[in-house]
Chains A and B, each alone.
Chain A
Amino acid sequence: MYDRMQTLTQEQMNKIHGAAMDILQNTGIAFNEDEALEIFKSHGFKIDGKKVFFTEEQIRKAVDSAPSKFTVTARNPEKSVKIGEEDFVFVPGYGAPFIAKPNGDQREATMEDYDNFCKLVQTSKFMDMNGFMMVEPSDVPPETAHLDMLFSSIVLSDKPFMGSPVSKQGARECVEMASIVWGGKEQLKKVGPVTVSLINSLSPLQFSDEMAGALIELARADQACVIASLIMAGSSGPVTLPGVIALQTAEILSGITLAQLVNPGAPVIYGSTSSAMDMKTGGLSVGCPELSIVVSATAQMARYYNLPSRSGGGLTDAHIPDAQAGAESTLALSTAARNGINFILHSAGILGSYIAMSFEKYLIDEEMCGVIRKMIKPMEVTDDSIDVEMIQKVGIGGQYLTQPKTFKLCRTEFFLSNLMGRQNQAGWKAGGSKRVDEAATEMLSKRLASYEKPEISPDIEAELSEYVMRKKKG
């Protein structure tokens, strides 16, 4: 296999690993959470105040106990997914406070928007998992918004979903809601991970109490966690990317170690969405090539440790689904998939460096997920897929259009475009000369209209609903 994009050599990875070990051993990582400090202390880690220091052996032991691949079970078992090694998932955008309207204006996101994204995920051929906080809803109380979102994620879709890492309490509630769906805590333990949650470090070299607390709760319940850094090269991390990779490796491995101390074998993912600060504006850029370089290096470093990896996907700095959005997003998404990232978050919908989700952009990115999935699928070379007999029968100067095989495979052999125009110019003009984002606006209402709520036991739905109500009151 040859790909020109091989960001790091083995020797370079050894060097980055060495630097990360140096940072972990000598600078340490701050955990602003008492239980985390207790756990490290009880396992004989060196502690100074909130700072925890790690030896290479301690890190190695933790990394070795983490699985290289695991299954996330969906409430519809046919939709369960595997994460790790050759298996990967596309997951929608995460954390945007605004909805980008088709003209580029923004409005505050609502629960209705969140629900509509759940419906788009459920009706998608290419989105493998439902997200969490696909938008931050402004019309529900922020303290309990995670309960509303989890309820929608579970009830409106039967795909695996992302969990709530908002706090220790929020993580516990996520596990409790999953227990309701799977028939109790014991049963949930037997099933294994049913959620993947996003735990972010606070770069440089810290974990907040919310994130460390949520990590402990989720690892304890055997729920999968992405441990991720978002380092802005030049502001919250070094300006040079090798320094960024070393710094993120130190942060991620410390989080993974905590999870493994809590529950050896807990499923974890080496994650990063580090990128460059734009030196002209001071803002985060995710449409830049540096993002894709970090994506590639992240996939390589995760493989170096035999861990599943996570990066961003369809990311852009553009504010409207225009040519910039398409180019930047597809480059990053393709880099993630081709370099072997296993959990591709932000696969669809993000605009303006995470500030907004766009329904139109979601639909365009989603189609690219299908395109990329098709592109990297290994080719099956068999006597039948070559078919010398047919080639000889058609002979020199013949045609294949009326071959029975062409007829038989004409709907399945090639990727069928849903959104990307393939008509000639006359046909395109006759159809109203629509740009792809305009076609997406039209498709959106059709997709939402095609949505059917997946089956769920009325008792479970009622119990979930009652749980959310009770927690909101309390």
Chain B
Amino acid sequence: MAVKDIFQAVLEFDEAKVSELTRKELDAGTNIQSILNDGLINAMDEVGKQFSEGVLFVPEMLMAAQAMKAGLGVLKPHLADTDNKPKGTIIIGTVKGDLHDIGKNLVGMMMEGAGFNVVDLGVDVDTEKFVQAAKDNDAQIVALSALLTTTMPAMEATVASLKESGSGVKTMIGGAPVTEAFATKIGSDGYSDDAPGAVELARKLVAA
């Protein structure tokens, strides 16, 4: 089964091979859903699992995500032909005052790898911008990142504003100093301490 080869090529971090195999499968008339779910997304789930187990390292996980995105790029023009909608839209950004984006980028890439539509607002994003972007994109989730304890209060303010906005958008938070207890305290819908965990959490929040 050639879709399995796409899965394998993602796990081998081979961007060119993933593109090529995806194109071949499309030409052969293989079901697009199967290419996407059984090939690309399943592979990223496996990558996330292996990363959490300590088998794969951060740069390898990112290379796999890039390979997966290359396959997704090939599929995208054809996805519009079917009624295949993204799994959900996620707004992601680092909160006001915080310029650290490596962790946020990692989570963003993994979420794209899991089939979400990700809108990345970048770093040092103020509350209003998060609220507006959630509205404009009809997002299901806003994901907030902070590396500094000094910017954690900005998370609290943003979560509160998003609630007040009445859009019903869910929030999730993460970053080195952030804890489950802090998430509960500020009324966020969830927290994860690594990127694969954040993907799991996003799936749960969208399904809820």
Interface residue ranges, A against B (CB under 8 Å): 399, 401-402, 406-407, 410-411, 424, 426-427
How many positions in chain B have a CB within 8 Å of any CB in the partner chain? 17
Q: Mark B48-70, 1 if CB is under 8 A from A, else 0.
A: 00000000011110110010000
Closest 10 CB pairs of A and B: A410-B59, A407-B59, A426-B193, A406-B59, A410-B57, A407-B63, A402-B62, A401-B62, A399-B102, A424-B193
- In the bound complex, CA of A401 to CA of B102 (Å): 8
Query: Once bound together, how far apart are the Cα atoms of A401 and B65, in whole Å?
Result: 12
Q: Are A410 and B102 in contact (CB under 8 A)?
A: no
Closest to A397 in B: B99
Interface residues of B in 1-21 (CB under 8 A from A): 13
Known A401-B105, A402-B66; further 6 A-B contacts with Cβ < 8 A: A401-B58, A407-B62, A410-B57, A410-B58, A410-B60, A427-B193
- Residues 86 to 135 of chain B near chain A (Cβ within 8 Å): 101-102, 105-106
Chain A residues closer than 8 Å to B180, beta-carbon distance: 426
User: Which residues from chain B contact A424 at a C-beta distance below 8 Å?
Assistant: 176, 193
With A and B bound together, what is the CA distance between A406 and B58 in angstroms?
10
**Given the complex, which residues of A lie within 8 Å of B57, measured CB to CB?**
410-411
Q: What CA separation (Å) do A402 and B67 show in the bound complex?
A: 12
Would you give 6 A-B contacts (Cβ < 8 Å), ordered by A? A401-B62, A401-B102, A407-B13, A407-B60, A410-B59, A410-B60
- B-chain residues with CB within 8 Å of residue A406 when the two chains form the complex: 59
Q: Give Cα distance in the complex from A426 to B13, angstroms.
A: 29
Q: Which residue of A lies closest to B66 (CB)?
A: A402
- List the B side residues contacting A411 at CB < 8 Å: 57
Give chain A residues whose Cβ lies under 8 Å from the Cβ of B13: 407
Cα A426 to Cα B177 with chains together (Å)? 11
**Least CB distance, B157 to chain A, in whole angstroms:** 25
- Given A407-B13, A410-B58, does the pair A402, B193 have CB atoms closer than 8 Å? no
Q: Is the interface of A mostly helix, strand, loop or mixed?
A: loop
CB closest residue in chain A, given B106: A401
Query: Known contacts A410-B57, A411-B57, A426-B193: does B176 contact A402 (CB below 8 Å)?
Result: no
A407 to B62, CA, bound (A): 9
Bound complex: CA A190 to CA B150 (Å): 70
Which residue of A401, A426, A427 contacts B59 across the interface (Cβ within 8 Å)?
A401
B98 to chain A, nearest CB (A): 14
What B residues does A426 contact at CB under 8 A?
179-180, 193
B14 to chain A, nearest CB (A): 12
Q: Which residue of chain B is the closest to A416 with respect to CB atoms?
A: B57
- Residues in A whose Cβ lies below 8 Å from that of B194: 427
A157 to B105, alpha carbons, bound, how many Å?
A: 48
| A-chain residues with CB within 8 Å of residue B101 when the two chains form the complex | 399
Q: Are B102 and A402 in contact (CB under 8 A)?
A: no
Name the residue on B nearest A407 (C-beta). Answer: B59
B140 to chain A, nearest CB (A): 25
When distances are taken between beta carbons in the complex, the residues of chain B under 8 Å from A427 are 193-194
Residue among A399, A407, A410 making CB contact with B105, cutoff 8 Å: A399
Which residues of B have CB within 8 Å of A402?
A: 59, 62-63, 66
A426 to B183, CA, bound (A): 14
Docked complex Cα distance between A426 and B101 (Å): 21
Q: How far apart sit A406 and B101, CA to CA, in the bound complex (Å)? A: 18
* Closest Cβ neighbor of B193 among chain A residues: A426
Question: From A403, which residue of chain B is reached at the shortest CB distance?
Answer: B59
A427 to B101, CA, bound (A): 22
Question: What's the Cα separation between A292 and B38 when bound, in Å?
Answer: 60
Which B residue's beta carbon lies closest to that of A402?
Answer: B62
Closest chain A CB from B17 CB (angstroms): 15
- The CA of A406 and the CA of B176, in the complex, are separated in Å by 22
What distance in Å separates the Cβ of B119 from its nearest Cβ neighbour in chain A? 20
Considering the complex, give the chain B residue whose CB is closest to the CB of A422. Answer: B54
Contacts of B66 in A (CB 8 A): 402
Complex Cα distance, B101 from A401, in Å, reads: 11
Cβ–Cβ < 8 Å partners of A410 in chain B = 57-60
Complex: A410 Cα to B60 Cα, angstroms: 8
A20 nearest CB across to chain B (Å): 53
Q: How close is B68's CB to chain A, nearest CB, in angstroms?
A: 13
Provide the bound-state CA to CA distance between A407 and B194, in Å: 19
- Tell me the complex Cα distance, A346–B106, Å: 44
Q: How far is the CB of A27 from chain B (nearest CB, A)?
A: 61
Note all chain B residues with C-beta closer than 8 A to A401: 58-59, 62, 102, 105-106
Instruction: For the complex formed, measure the closest distance between the CB of A369 and the CB atoms of chain B, giving whole angstroms.
Output: 22
A399 and B194 alpha carbons, distance in the complex (Å): 19
A257 → B minimal CB distance (Å): 55
A402–B193 alpha-carbon span in the complex (Å): 21
Which chain A residues lie closer than 8 Å to B106 at the CB level?
A: 401
A contact residues around B176 at 8 Å (CB): 424
Measured CA separation A406–B60 after assembly (Å): 9
Q: How far is the CA of A424 from the CA of B194 in the complex (A)?
A: 10
| Complex Cα gap A427–B54 (Å) | 11
* Complex alpha-carbon distance, A402 and B102, angstroms: 10
How distant is the Cα of A410 from the Cα of B193 in the complex, in angstroms? 21
The smallest beta-carbon distance between A362 and chain B, in angstroms, is: 23
Q: What is the CA–CA distance of A402 and B108 in the complex, to the nearest angstrom?
A: 14
Shortest Cβ distance from residue A414 to the other chain B in the assembled complex, whole angstroms: 10
CB-nearest residue of chain A to B63: A407
Alpha-carbon distance between A399 and B108 when the two chains are bound, in angstroms: 15
CA distance A407 to B58 in the complex (A): 9
Q: Return the chain A residue nearest B123 by Cβ.
A: A397
Q: Which residue of B lies closest to A427 (CB)?
A: B193
Give complex CA distance A364, B8 in Å: 37
